[in-house]
Amino acid sequence: MAPTKPLVEQQVEACYKIVGIPPEETAELRGSVPPKKRSELWFERRVFFCTPQTFANDLQKGTCDSGVVKNIVCVVIDEAHKATGKYAYVVRESFFFYSFQTHSYTQ
């Protein structure tokens, strides 16, 4: 998870080129992807790239339901220093309601 779309794109590129995660196992979830398609991707894929706002909205609206969320084992938060004030990393209580293993990165 990254705070901006360009940073999400950097994560995608790094995971494909450096880590070797196959693209068919991943989904880049954006607001421009229709909710029905995002819902399908939450069930079909195992690695997700998105902004915290997209994730929080999908939780709030049920696009990513609790059955899917229970299977999430790790959330990587890039630019963790942005987690202040009313930013989506902080505001959405539902984000931290579930027990994830969380790794936060900042510079």
pLDDT, tens digit, for every residue of 6-22?
A: 888 988 888 888 888 88
Question: Alpha-carbon torsion 55, 96, 11, 65, what sign?
Answer: negative
Q: Provide the residue count of the chain.
A: 107
State mean pLDDT over 21-37: 91
Q: How far apart are CA 15 and CA 98, in angstroms?
A: 25
pTM of the predicted structure, to 2 decimals? 0.75
On the question of pLDDT at 53 being above 80, the answer is yes
Nearest to 27 by CA among 80, 63, 60, 61: 63
Q: Which residues of 10-49 are buried (b: 16+ CB within 10 A; e: fewer)?
A: ebbeebeeeeeeeeeebbbbeeebeeeebbebbeebebbb
State mean pLDDT over 23-42: 92
Task: Scan for tokens 């539902």, then name that residue.
Answer: 94
pLDDT, tens digit, for every residue of 60-90?
A: 898 988 788 778 777 777 776 666 665 555 5
Q: How far apart are CA 34 and CA 72, in angstroms?
A: 22
